[in-house]
Amino acid sequence: MPTVREPSSEIDAHHSGVKRAGLIGHPIAHSRSPAMQQAAFGALGISARYELWDAPDAAALAGRVAALRQLDMLGANITIPWKEAVIPLLDDLDDSAYHIAGAVNTITRAETAHGVRLTGYNTDAPALDQTLDKQGAWSGAQRMLILGAGGAAQAALGIAFMRGVEPWLAARRAETAREAMAKLAARLPVPEHWRDHTLALDDLSTLTATLRDSQILINATPVGVGDAGASPLPLDLLAALPSGAAVLDLIYAPPETALIRAARVRGLRAEGGLPMLLYQGALAFTLWTGQPAPLDVMSHALAIE
């Protein structure tokens, strides 16, 4: 297990030449992170480039992470399906990854007296919190329903705990949801009864009842990536949500998913994944460079209005 350490934004940058950062995951061809990060590097005059590093299997993941120890590396982002699997390959974990999210989506590289250290952070969790805050979702919220059980869902569970909002978790299999909730309980002092707040996505009666009492709905599954017609749940179930509920789909390609369209038709507050992509990318940029991220430039690169 990597050492847990306090957050730090100071990144070693004394080596000359073009630095590199990139996205590790599979699939990643759809990612808009390169445009956003490259625009930020250019705006601040940083000699660096952001690349896509496909890792279709565990061996490729290990190789990509090992390469981050090279002199020209700034760090990396981690995405599906490696946010949890990458943890044993790192030297240190920030509290954002170790306790709050239980997963890593950003890696920094630093040279120390004892050699290169790779530290894992989670910028998804604070970005998710910021996105929901901008959406006005936290006001009066008592329950959150999260669809999915992977790294993004873990980040949402952690933020729900920090905000004092009761989470429910729905996955394709009820057992998967229970395992994900157990991971949360293993790292944070959650109430005992939260362990029972799990269900299967095909249990429509329980899903409907849970939606009826949820002020926030988050899609943390990959259902809808590249498919504007796909939805993680039957769209007519959105009628069960209270008026004024907030819906957040973490998918950003397409910018408006079927879930978001249906939620907006019903007059619900609904947001796609681009703002969260922006905020988590900005936090990662600062971790790599030690400089405030140029949010306006990054937002323009993502074509966020």
CATH number of residue 40's parent domain: 3.40.50.10860
Residues 50 and 183 in one domain: no
Lowest mean pLDDT among 4-18, 59-73, 105-119, 159-173: 4-18
Copy the structure tokens of residue 210.
Answer: 């849970």
Neighbour order of strands in the sheet with 246-249: 198-200, 166-171, 143-147, 216-219, 246-249, 269-271
- DSSP for 217-232 reads EEE-SSTTTT-TT--S
Q: How many CB atoms lie under 10 A from the CB of residue 193?
A: 8
| Residues 131, 70 share a domain | no
For residue 166, name the pLDDT band (cuts at 50, 70, 90): very high
Please check whether residues 31 and 110 belong to one and the same domain: yes
Render pLDDT for 250-272 as a digit per residue (tens, 0 to 9): 999 899 999 999 999 999 999 99
Is 278's pLDDT higher than 90? yes
Residue-wise pLDDT tens digits, 116-131 = 999 999 999 999 999 9
Query: Is the confidence at residue 160, as pLDDT, over 70?
Result: yes
Domain containing 84 equals 3-122+277-301
Contact yes or no for 231/258 (Cβ under 8 A): yes
Rounded to whole angstroms, the Cα distance separating 118 from 76 reads 10
**The pLDDT of residue 158 is above 80:** yes
The per-residue pLDDT for 1 is 56
Is pLDDT above 80 for 288?
yes
Percent of the chain having pLDDT more than 90?
A: 89
The residues with which 94 forms a beta bridge, in sequence order, are 5
277: pLDDT strictly greater than 80: yes
CATH of the domain at 134: 3.40.50.720
Q: Confidence band (pLDDT; 50, 70, 90) for 304?
A: confident
Asked whether residue 13 carries a pLDDT value surpassing 60, the answer given is no
Same domain for 140 and 265? Answer: yes
Contact assessment for residue 48 and residue 112, using Cβ atoms and an 8 Å cutoff: no
Question: Do 17 and 113 fall into the same domain?
Answer: yes
At residue 5, the pLDDT reads 53
Q: Decide the pairing of beta strands 106-112 and 115-121.
A: antiparallel
Mean pLDDT, the chain, integer: 93
pLDDT band, residue 151 (cuts 50/70/90): confident
**3-state helix/strand/coil string of 96-112:** HHHHHHCCCCEEEEEEE
Report residue 226's pLDDT band, with 50, 70 and 90 as the boundaries.
Answer: confident
Whether the per-residue pLDDT at 10 is higher than 50: the answer is: no
Mean pLDDT (whole number) for 209-215: 97
Which are the catalytic amino acids? Answer: 83
Residues 143 and 93 sit within 8 Å (Cβ to Cβ): no
How many Å apart are CA 105 and CA 181, to the nearest integer? 19
Domain match, 200 and 268 both: yes
- 8 pLDDT more than 90: no
The tally of domains found in the chain comes to: 2
Task: Determine the average pLDDT of the residues in 48-59.
Answer: 97
Strand-pair category, 3-5 with 92-94: parallel
How far is it, in rounded angstroms, from Cα 146 to Cα 273?
A: 14
pLDDT of 43 strictly over 80: yes
Residue 190 has pLDDT above 50, yes or no: yes
- Give the pLDDT confidence score for residue 153 in this predicted structure: 93
Q: Where are the alpha helices (DSSP H) in 31-110?
A: 33-43, 58-67, 95
Residues 37 and 170 in one domain: no
CB 92 within 8 A of CB 74: no
